[in-house]
Structure 1
Amino acid sequence: MRVAGKGLIDRNRVLRFTFGGQSFEGFAGDSLASALLANDQRLIGRSFKYHRPRGIVTAGSEEPNALVTLERGFAREPNSRATMQPLYDGLVARP
């Protein structure tokens, strides 16, 4: 799902991250959302009321569905936008 030689990512720096307990790989310059989409991860969360599946529909800060919880040790940061979160090595996120 990536076009070779295009975009702002650095394909020489592979970053490993975890989402929902599964390990994935992305590149430096990726956002969490773009790395998830590149790894064919379409289900990002579920709606509160009816628990319907939700995926990424936009690329910017207006994204209503890709809200994740970032974990750093014992600290948790809920409702972080996956489209605005830069990918870094060791990132741990959950839907």
Structure 2
Amino acid sequence: MSGALRISGAGRLSQAKTARFSFDGQSYTGIEGDTLASALLANGVHLVGRSFKYHRPRGILSAGAEEPNALVQIVRDDARKTPNVR
């Protein structure tokens, strides 16, 4: 479903270079230069987490560091992990 929710021919990113990534155990494809949020939204992912206390669904609300649901852990390989990246 890579890019199914993108507007064709629009935007500043070149769709020639793609990047593969995984989120919550699922594999996705994004465009080089995408943010994690825009790549997830383009792949139809709207639920990115749940609240701690009541387990309510959390989605993407903004496009910057002020995003309240934007804590992720980046794993490059088994030896390099970066937790709580905004």
TM-score category, normalised to shorter length: 0.7 to 0.9
**CA distance in structure 1 between the aligned counterparts of 2:51 and 2:85, rounded to whole angstroms:** 16
Aligned to 1:14: 18
Q: Report SS of the residue matched to 1:62.
A: coil
Aligned to 2:55: 51
The amino acid across from 2:72 in the alignment is V
Q: CA RMSD in A?
A: 1.4
Once the 2 structures are TM-superposed, how far is the Cα of residue 63 of structure 1 from its aligned partner? Answer: 0.5
With the length of structure 1 as denominator, give the TM-score of the two structures: 0.75
Q: Are 2:80 and 1:70 equivalent residues in the alignment?
A: no
**CA distance in structure 2 between the aligned counterparts of 1:4 and 1:16, rounded to whole angstroms:** 19
Larger Cα Rg: Structure 1 or Structure 2? 2
Q: Are 2:27 and 1:23 equivalent residues in the alignment?
A: yes
Work out which structure has the larger RCO, using CA pairs closer than 8 Å and 6 or more positions apart in sequence. 1
Q: Report SS of the residue matched to 2:16.
A: strand
Greater fraction strand: 1
**CA distance in structure 2 between the aligned counterparts of 1:75 and 1:46, rounded to whole angstroms:** 26
- Matched residue count: 81
**CA distance in structure 2 between the aligned counterparts of 1:60 and 1:8, rounded to whole angstroms:** 18
The amino acid across from 1:29 in the alignment is G
With the length of structure 2 as denominator, give the TM-score of the two structures: 0.82
The amino acid across from 1:52 in the alignment is R
Q: Report SS of the residue matched to 1:4.
A: coil
Identical counterparts, % of pairs: 57
